[in-house]
Chain A
Amino acid sequence: MPEAGVEVGAGPGDLFLSISDVSKVFEAGADRIEALHHIDVGIAKGEFICLIGASGCGKSTLLRIIAGFETPTTGQVLVGGRPIQGPGSDRGMVFQDYALFPWLTARENIAFGPRQKGLAQDRIRAITGEYLDMIGLTRFADRFPYQLSGGMKQRVAIARVLANDAGILLMDEPFGALDALTREQLQAELLQIWARTHVTIIFVTHSVEEATLLGDRVVVMTAGPGRVEGDIPVPLARPRDVSAPDFNDVRRGLTRRLRR
């Protein structure tokens, strides 16, 4: 059973983040493209949700709506019972291409959010130091992004939203641009950070294996228009073993749902 003990279809009172009846239509001239078709997903606090689907299924669009970068054509997204109004520091996006501020060092990138809040200098220094330590980059704190490897940059990007006290991490194929070894390492580190900080994570990926490894639940989406094909709990104890037979069973099940 899922370790977090989350029941699928929990009552609305238990929901931390609720996506209800969200559609998104992009209009380009006479063309009308329906990217998302009446999506309903509820997420409990501290859950690790993976969104998976073929390209064009709208999973990134859904994530950007939750982030507040796009507004839905119908429906709404509630966080803690309140509808979201644009981007906010309660939700932190981790982009595939990092989107670090190239003119700021690793330390200054992590300090960016706390600085916006106008915290005292020593408080900012303490928070920044804590997260630099958490991601193991204390030695590289004063490097600029161009002096960091892809994996290091993504660690900084994760620390940047955590340092800003984001309760919800929105991750858009965050490890897609990394080599296999670095990806495995970062997946393990992300799970450790998740266990330590109890943040809620919505993780977009196109890798069935990654979704099986990370998610409490996997939301499978299909394209044309983007719909939720299935909302599947992953009944595997953590830490998960990618070579175990039951891991393979879950993965095979997910792959079948994707092909449907």
Chain B
Amino acid sequence: MFAERGQSIALGIGFPLILVVLWHVLVIATGTQLVPTPYQVWRMMVDFSVGGVYDDAFSGTILTHLLASIQRVYGGFFLALLLGVPLGLLIGRVRAIRQLLDPTLSLLRPVPVTAWLPLSMIFFGLGPRSAVFLVFLGAFYPILLNTTFGVRSVDARLFEAASMLGCDGSRMFRQVVLPASMPAIFNGIRLGNGFAWILIVVGEMTGVPTGLGSVIMDGRTLSRTDLVITGMAVIGISGFLCDRVIVAISNRVLRWSPQHHA
């Protein structure tokens, strides 16, 4: 048991450590000026977090940018959740709504979210609202599709069992459809959360002054690759931590179904 856990930790941490060492060796061996060493990125990260290294416009600004990004990520994400879950339930359960919406949604779905960037800038202007919209689009489809799938794949026997016990109509929806779809809904929520963090960089390319995406864009414009990588790392870590929170909630809600535990 402990040995297994130890091995899991050693392998899980060991592999990225080897990658960092490889990164360092390759930068030194090739003598490139374009890519910083891990140590230079580390110094940038410290400066970005608490300042005291370069003392420039980016020093000690991590919280400002992180909070701005989190607001947009979760603004868009919760919009997607609020719209995607009820709509997915309806599409899965009500045939007329499925016939009404499914063809349109299927046509719009293959359009990459990034392709919406110009239009969203026309709709919402150059600012955070555009970012929220793009994040929303990215998180919406996985949540919607998984919810619909969850509703469609509820075991027909459970409906029979519920109806013979006197359950019908809206109670059937609340007491059978919703709980039975929960594993699929959480699957969608996890995927949606991932897409939301992916799209925040695209969303913050739209000319907003704060946010991790804008830090990466600034880093690129200023040829400060250490800043670019620092922004990437903060996004990666934040997305990962948020995913762990979702997994913890999901494991709690789905404690009746250990096969759905992550």
Give per-residue flags for B147-179: 1 if the beta carbon is below 8 A from chain A beta carbons, else 0: 000000001011011111111000100011001
Q: How far is the CA of A95 from the CA of B143 in the complex (A)?
A: 33
| Across-interface contacts of B175 in A (CB, < 8 A) | 112
Q: Is the CB of B164 within 8 A of A92?
A: yes
| Across-interface contacts of B256 in A (CB, < 8 A) | 102-104, 144-146
**CB of A118 to closest CB in B, whole Å:** 10
Q: Is the CB of A93 within 8 A of B160?
A: yes
Number of residue pairs across A and B with beta carbons under 8 Å? 67
User: For residue A165, which residue of chain B has the nearest CB?
Assistant: B166
Give per-residue flags for A70-112: 1 if the beta carbon is below 8 A from chain B beta carbons, else 0: 0000000000000000111101110101011111100000001
Known contacts A103-B179, A116-B171; A160 and B165 CB within 8 A of each other: yes
Q: Is the CB of A68 within 8 A of B164?
A: yes
On chain B, the number of residues with a Cβ less than 8 Å from chain A's Cβ atoms is 21
Instruction: Name which of B163, B164, B171 has the most chain A CB atoms within 10 A of its CB.
Output: B164
Q: Which of B192-214 contact A (CB under 8 A)?
A: none
Q: How far is the CA of A89 from the CA of B167 in the complex (A)?
A: 9
| Across-interface contacts of A69 in B (CB, < 8 A) | 160
Q: Is the CB of B161 within 8 A of A99?
A: yes
Q: Is the CB of A102 within 8 A of B165?
A: no
Q: Is the CB of A116 within 8 A of B157?
A: no
| Across-interface contacts of A88 in B (CB, < 8 A) | 164, 166
Q: Is the CB of B165 within 8 A of A164?
A: yes
User: For residue A112, which residue of chain B has the nearest CB?
Assistant: B165
Q: How far is the CA of A97 from the CA of B179 in the complex (A)?
A: 19
| Across-interface contacts of A116 in B (CB, < 8 A) | 165-167, 171
Does B103 sit within 8 A of A, measured CB to CB? no
Q: Which 4 A-B pairs have the closest CB atoms?
A: A116-B166, A113-B165, A99-B157, A87-B163
Which residues of chain A have a CB within 8 Å of any CB of chain B? 67-69, 86-89, 91-93, 95, 97, 99-104, 112-113, 116-117, 144-146, 160-161, 164, 166
